[in-house]
A and B are shown apart, each in its own frame.
Chain A
Amino acid sequence: MVNFEANNDHYSTVSLLGQCWDGLAIVHLAKHIPSDKMVAIKRFNMDKIKEESNLVEHEIILTRQLQHPNITRYYSSFVIGPEVCVVSPLMAFGSCRDLLNTHFSHGLPENAIALILREVLEGLDYIHKKGFIHRALRASHILISANGRVCLSGLRYACPIIEHGRWQRQIHSFPASTARNLNWLSPEVLEQNLQGYNEKSDIYSIGVVLCELANGAEPFAGMPTTLMLIEKVRGAAPQLLDCTTVPRDENNEIHGFSQDQANRRFSEGLHQLAALCLQREPKCRPTASQLLTHSYLKVNRRGLQLPDLLKPAIPLSDRVAQNTDELANLDTIQRMSDLELYTCEWDF
């Protein structure tokens, strides 16, 4: 087991991978020098972060206290200059959202969805059993490694079920800074009424994520927030788009959907799973561990490898990730902004 030290000198930055946390953090591909292993380093510029600085702390501490193959690991975290850096394993396929954006704009192949869902549920079951609600399940929080391991991230929005020394039956707190996650949240979380919500709200989000992975688009995208809420409270739920659900007019024409989506057919099991998760009444939704025993997920898919199913997407390696120009630019911007210093000197 490699020891990833909390020491910036042990990592050399290779390239820029992208941004996360709404642009509050950047992600670098880096090499851990003592072991020669590639890692991802998230860098939060704490001087730019205001209300969310508690969330940075919360996410790091919570993630450090969870250990499961399907939950993102943070090897170590340290402070360098005004930045908090978090070292984690490289997830070379990026997030499911990245995959949808780059190669699968109409959705992932069904077998890939099944493999991803299984691992997501394993991770979620662990989170629930340890007494937390995730509250931000979405394709962008599902990461995939080069060998097809699926990990949940985004734990900054998670909340404990255990409060005041008790396992709470209902939670009432509304997640902070969650504007971007509203489309995935369950009706009961959004309603913010006295009945509160529990871990079953994550199961609703699983249903929304299933539709996102299958259809490619963010569910409720472009819909005004209030309308989205009304729809969910009425019990209307997103659907998996295939020949059984894409509407056709009297001339058998389709509008607003791709031929792909209109012609394919997802299996009955997947439709069923999505419908189970998206039930309006939380009590009716299965738990994560019950979902894992659903016949659809029991199908033997042992011969299938997620990386094969994700082709033509290829995992990032240190060879394909050479965008050093961008890195140099970023460095320059950083240095320029450091130059704005106050010149006045006090007279003591």
Chain B
Amino acid sequence: MPLFGKSQKSPADVVKALKEAVNSLEKGDKKAEKAQEDVSKNLVLIKNMLYGTSDAEPQTDIIVAQLAQELYNSNLLLLLIQNLNRIDFEGKKDVAQVFNNILRRQIGTRSPTVEYICTKPEILFTLMTGYEHQEIALNCGTMLRECARYEALAKIMLYSDDFYNFFKYVEVSTFDIASDAFSTFKELLTRHKMLCADFLEMNYDKVFNHYQRLLNSENYVTRRQSLKLLGELLLDRHNFTVMTRYISNPDNLKLMMNMLKERSRNIQFEAFHVFKVFVANPNKPKPILDILLRNQDKLVEFLMKFHTDRAEDEQFNDEKAYLIRQIKELRPAADH
């Protein structure tokens, strides 16, 4: 026992103290104020063990291992996330930092926290519903994106019914929450190529029905972001099957042709990158070919005048020239 200054609390002590404080915060009894203080204090202690501070190194691996083990055994991670809205402003961020650090923990090639969360998927579902609460949405967002880095966790989230709530979250009126939700949404749909391709193939109708709503959103930012992401998804070679399916549907072509004419130049430009896939397809289904043929002259004229100020963008100009040539050369398919 040192004579001066505080003794170093053990991980077990800190976790126990934090759990008691969160429990009492949850009950909301008359000791709530004291509990709030204890929660904040112990969160900072844990955070400093994991990260160190600007003038102290983080704790040794043994201490961190003990801490992680205590966190799993006490079920504290879930408890913290469930009570996140009750924790004060700085404490909420500390929870996210503690969570993100523990999540990255590795023993050799194993990620014990990831394995732990796989057995407690409520953690993920609770985090996802966090987007419904203004005051914790951004904190939950940072934790969710950290989780999405791991394929096993991304899979649980993608294949859950809650995933479809993202189509609502990315469109909420508060811009910072909507764009944070969009980053998470995008991460889930693009990070693990094979997983994402399988997911999109198996859930094509449901996902693209929802996606259609984003492309027609009244919110400019949602419309632009979702259109850009659509282009990225379709042009990713892993999603070949999904792309083929998407560009066979004449309604999708009509939507893109209309978006080419939108008032916003950025939306026109993003729409171009989806539109080009329809034209470049060597096996155009008849309904697609028919639409393109009906508008052959208009399209050529339109594209000639399309974004002519992008002279320095070589790739864009090559692609545009290619599309114009392709459309000019379109001929009706021979009847069988």
List A residues at the B interface (Cβ < 8 Å).
Answer: 6-7, 46-47, 50, 57, 60-61, 64-65, 67, 74, 76-79, 81-86, 128-130, 162, 164-167, 199, 287, 338, 341-342, 344, 346-348
Q: Are A167 and B264 in contact (CB under 8 A)?
A: no
B263 contacts A6, CB within 8 Å? no
Q: Is B89 an interface residue (CB 8 A)?
A: yes
Cα of A126 to Cα of B10 in the assembled complex, Å: 28
Q: Is the CB of B54 within 8 A of A65?
A: no
CB neighbours of B257 from chain A (8 A): 346
CB contact between B301 and one of A6, A76, A344 (< 8 Å): that residue: A344
Task: List A contacts of B97 (CB < 8 A).
Answer: 162
In the complex, B219 has a CB within 8 A of chain A: yes
Are A167 and B221 in contact, with the CB atoms below 8 A? no
Cross-chain contact A165 with B54 (CB below 8 angstroms): no
15 pairs from A and B in contact (CB 8 Å cutoff): A60-B176, A61-B138, A61-B180, A64-B138, A64-B176, A67-B89, A79-B221, A128-B54, A167-B58, A338-B263, A344-B261, A346-B258, A346-B298, A347-B295, A348-B254
Residues from chain A with Cβ under 8 Å of B100 in the complex: 165
Given A7-B173, A46-B221, A78-B173, A61 and B54 contact (CB-CB distance below 8 Å): no
> Nearest Cβ distance between residue A260 and chain B, in whole angstroms?
40
Q: Which residues of chain B come closer than 8 Å to A129, judged between CB atoms?
A: 54
Q: Which 7 A-B pairs have the closest CB atoms?
A: A165-B104, A77-B175, A6-B174, A342-B261, A167-B51, A165-B101, A6-B173
**Any A CB within 8 A of the CB of B118:** no
Q: Does B315 contact A (CB under 8 A)?
A: no
Which B-chain residue is minimally distant from A341 (CB atoms)?
B263
* Residues 263 to 284 of chain B near chain A (Cβ within 8 Å): 263-266
Q: Which residues from chain A contact B53 at a C-beta distance below 8 Å?
A: 167
**Which of B175, B220, B294 contacts A60 (CB under 8 A)?**
B175
Could you tell me the distance between the alpha carbons of A82 and B224 in the complex, rounded to whole angstroms? 10
Are A162 and B51 in contact (CB-based, < 8 A)?
A: yes
What is the minimal beta-carbon distance from B139 to any residue of chain A, in angstroms?
A: 8
User: Do B54 and A164 touch across chains, with their CB atoms under 8 A apart?
Assistant: no
B266 touches A47 (CB 8 A): yes
- Which B residue's beta carbon lies closest to that of A166? B51
Smallest CB–CB gap between A278 and chain B, Å? Answer: 21
Bound-complex Cα distance A7 to B175 (A): 11
Residues of B within 8 A of A167 (CB): 51-54, 58
Measured CB to CB, the nearest residue on chain B to A337 is B263
Min distance, Cβ B123 to any Cβ of chain A, angstroms: 17
Contact B54 A47 (CB under 8 A): no
Which single member of B89, B176, B266 contacts A61 (CB below 8 Å)?
Answer: B176
Whether B175 contacts A347 by the Cβ 8 Å rule is no
Instruction: Flag if B93 contacts A130 (CB, 8 Å).
Output: yes
- Nearest opposing residue in chain B for A198, CB measure: B54
Separation in Å of the B150 CB from the closest CB of chain A? 13
Whether A57 lies near B138 (C-beta < 8 A) is no
In the bound complex, residues from chain A placing their C-beta under 8 Å from that of B263 are: 338, 341
Contacts of B258 in A (CB 8 A): 346
Report the minimal beta-carbon distance from A214 to chain B, rounded to whole angstroms. 29
A273 to chain B, nearest CB (A): 21
How far is B58's CA from A70's CA once the two chains are assembled, in angstroms?
Answer: 29
Q: Give bound CA distance, A96 to B52, whole Å.
A: 36
B321: interface (CB < 8 Å): no
For the complex, is B179 an interface residue (Cβ under 8 Å from A)? yes
The residue of chain A having its C-beta at the shortest distance from the C-beta of B105 within the complex is A165
